[in-house]
Copies of this chain bind each other. A is one copy, B any other.
């Protein structure tokens, strides 16, 4: 059995780096704090006897040899970058649950047939750099290494330079031979498991996602003397588009999601009618055809609002991944492990993107969810119970052993 207290302590030690006042974490991808977090976990990996390599997009892999070193490894992992106001468990749990699996196997002197690998993927969150799930995306050939290295944050800093700055511009090829199987443990980040009182979510697949950048251009004018009728208010037009993105999601229930998370107003002065507004749109659905319909609705809304308000609306596609079913054989291994451990469980679809979604394109993949408090994530108050985290880790151990062979 895994060591629940050790897993918890490692989570808390990592959370001390970039801790926020409200008990959360701000450890944005490739910042100095992300570098410190990586150094801490890489140190633990080495202590656990893992052989560590860093690839060209900064993904870190720690390998535990198997009896047959010719076999492709059984991999687990997740990310340790966080949202600007993120929590202690999103991502970190998956990495440290994987580490706890390695530590437990070491402790009990258990060898596996296939090698095991633990991955820390670069920039999963996507809040500092787009594309989201960058490290696993490059690894899985979803987009080219160069595109990822060229990506810049809002201050104009590139992934290439920031990787070098924290010492994680590795030399291992970023598109290595895929693993034999990939498992990722994660908090649910939604309210379903808690509501249904289940400890283990057997994740059967993920929603598809479309990200956009929208720019609305009107006309800057003075807020006082300009009659209401002659205005071209870029913010007013944008409010209708924000509402429309959310109305579209509401129309495609139960699986539609629509969110505007970023919105910037230019020039941003109290007495100036906004001349330009830029915002993001995030649309998700479980069904590719429905997601395509949502996309069409959004495009139509842009055209309609542009003509209704006499503004210019530009819609740029930023990222897309299709709804992704996980590997039925691996999903069944997770389900079987939950049964074996006597844990309550249910099938569930993930609304969040995960590195597993990209890895699923090149290797059989499955995920293990555990509940988080009130379903809250991407929030400093994100919380989870030690016993749930331990249960998920136990299932991960079980599933990895089933795949790797003992």
Query: Which residues of A are at the interface with B, using a C-beta cutoff of 8 A?
Result: 83-85, 125-127, 130, 132, 188-192, 207, 209, 211, 219-228, 230, 233, 235-236, 239-240, 242-243, 246, 249-250, 253-254, 256-275, 280, 282, 284, 350-353, 375-380
**Contact: B256 with A261, CB < 8 Å?**
no
Cα-based distance from A253 to B231 in the complex (angstroms): 14
* Partner of A350 from B132, B224, B270, B376 at Cβ < 8 Å: B224
Cα-based distance from A379 to B152 in the complex (angstroms): 30
* Partner of A219 from B83, B239, B261, B379 at Cβ < 8 Å: B379
**Contact: B260 with A235, CB < 8 Å?**
yes
Known: A126-B270, A224-B257, A261-B271. 9 other contacts (CB 8 A): A127-B271, A190-B227, A220-B380, A224-B282, A227-B257, A228-B256, A259-B270, A260-B274, A275-B379
Q: How far is the CB of A94 from chain B (nearest CB, A)?
A: 15
**Contact: B262 with A268, CB < 8 Å?**
yes
**Contact: A253 with B228, CB < 8 Å?**
yes
B residues within 8 A CB of A275? 85, 379
Instruction: Knowing A242-B235, A242-B239, A243-B236 are in contact, say whether A377-B225 is a contact too (CB < 8 A).
Output: yes
B residues within 8 A CB of A257? 223-224, 226-228
**Contact: A223 with B190, CB < 8 Å?**
no
22 examples of A-B residue contacts, CB within 8 angstroms: A83-B269, A83-B272, A85-B272, A132-B270, A188-B225, A189-B222, A189-B225, A190-B224, A190-B227, A191-B230, A211-B270, A221-B377, A222-B377, A223-B257, A224-B353, A225-B351, A239-B239, A261-B270, A261-B271, A262-B268, A262-B270, A270-B282
B residues within 8 A CB of A272? 83, 85, 127, 259, 261, 378-379
Cα-based distance from A313 to B94 in the complex (angstroms): 37
Instruction: Knowing A225-B350, A258-B228 are in contact, say whether A270-B280 is a contact too (CB < 8 A).
Output: yes
Q: How far is the CB of A50 from chain B (nearest CB, A)?
A: 30
B residues within 8 A CB of A378? 220-223, 269, 271-273
**Contact: B261 with A223, CB < 8 Å?**
yes
**Contact: A230 with B375, CB < 8 Å?**
yes
Q: How far is the CB of A208 from chain B (nearest CB, A)?
A: 11
**Contact: B269 with A127, CB < 8 Å?**
yes
Instruction: Knowing A243-B236, A379-B275 are in contact, say whether A351-B270 is a contact too (CB < 8 A).
Output: no
